[in-house]
Structure 1
Amino acid sequence: MMKAGLLCLAGLVATAIAQPHRHHRHEAKRDVVVDVVTNTVVAYATAPGAVVYVDGNGNPVSTSYADEAAPTTASAAYSAPAVESTSSVYTSAPASTAWSSSYVAPAPSSTTEAPAPSSYVAPDTSSSAAASTSSASSGSANSGYTISYSPYNSDNSCKDQDQVTSDFAMITGYDMVRLYGTDCNQTVTVLNAASAKGMKLFAGVYDITQVASEIQTIIDAANGNWDSFHTVSVGNEGVNNGLYSVSDVVSAIGTARSALQAAGYTGSVVTVDTFVAMIANPELCEASDYAAANCHAFFDGGVAAEDAGKFVLGQAQRVSQACGGKDTMITESGWPSQGDTNGMAVPSSENQINAINSLRAAFSSNIVLFSAFNDLWKQNNAGTYGAEQYWGIMGNAPA
Structure 2
Amino acid sequence: MKAGLLFVAGIAAAAAHPRRHQHPVKRQATDFNVVTVVDTVTAVEPSVIVYVDGDGRAVSTSFFGAPATTPTDTPNSVAPSTYAQPTAESSSDAAPTPAPSSALSSAPAPTSSSAPGADFSGYTLSYSPYNSDNSCKSQDQVNSDFNVISGYGMIRIYGTDCDQTATVLTAVKAKGMKLFAGVYDVNNVNAEVQQIVNAANGDWSNFHTVSIGNEGVNNGAYSVDQVVSAIGTARSTLQAAGYTGKVVTVDTFVAMIANPQLCQASDYAAANCHPFFDGGVSAEDAGQFVLGQAQRVSEACGGKETMITETGWPSDGETNGKAVPSQDNQVAAVNSIRTAFSNNVVLFSAFNDKWKQNNPGTFGAEHYWGIYGDAP
TM-score, L = length of structure 2: 0.80
For structure 2, the residue ranges without an aligned partner over 5 or more in a row are 1-21, 27-31, 61-79
Deviates more, 1:69-78 or 1:381-390: 69-78
The code of the aligned residue for 2:36 comes to A
Cα drift, residue 172 of structure 1? 2.8
The code of the aligned residue for 1:70 comes to T
Change (3 A) 1:315 1:369: same
Match of 2:272 in 1: 294
Aligned ranges 1:3-82 → 2 under 5 Å = 3=24, 8-12=34-38, 35=57, 47-51=85-89, 63=92, 65=94, 69-73=96-100, 77-80=105-108
Structure with the larger RCO, 1 or 2 (CA within 8 Å, 6+ apart): 2
- Please say if residues 51 and 58 of structure 2, whose CA atoms lie closer than 8 Å, have aligned partners that are also in contact: no
Q: Secondary structure at the match of 1:152?
A: coil
CA distance in 2, matches of 1:306, 1:16: 28
Match of 1:174 in 2: 152
Change (3 A) 1:386 1:63: farther
CA distance in 1, matches of 2:359, 2:313: 17
Q: Secondary structure at the match of 2:294?
A: helix
RMSD: 2.9
Match of 2:292 in 1: 314
Pair 1:91-2:129 in alignment? no
- Please say if residues 111 and 117 of structure 2, whose CA atoms lie closer than 8 Å, have aligned partners that are also in contact: no
CA distance in 2, matches of 1:185, 1:322: 36
Change (3 A) 1:306 1:48: closer
CA distance in 2, matches of 1:316, 1:216: 31
- Please say if residues 145 and 174 of structure 1, whose CA atoms lie closer than 8 Å, have aligned partners that are also in contact: yes
Cα drift, residue 9 of structure 1? 2.8
Change (3 A) 1:247 1:76: closer
The code of the aligned residue for 2:35 comes to L
> How many pairs does the alignment contain?
325
The code of the aligned residue for 1:331 comes to T
Aligned ranges 1:113-152 → 2 under 5 Å = 144-152=122-130
For structure 1, the residue ranges without an aligned partner over 5 or more in a row are 19-25, 39-43, 53-61, 81-88, 106-143
Match of 2:166 in 1: 188
Match of 1:231 in 2: 209
Q: Secondary structure at the match of 1:170?
A: helix
Structure having the higher helix fraction is 2
CA distance in 2, matches of 1:201, 1:217: 15
CA distance in 1, matches of 2:358, 2:212: 26
Q: Secondary structure at the match of 1:358?
A: helix
CA distance in 2, matches of 1:266, 1:222: 12
Cα drift, residue 93 of structure 1? 4.5
Change (3 A) 1:388 1:269: same
Cα drift, residue 35 of structure 1? 2.5
Cα drift, residue 392 of structure 1? 0.1
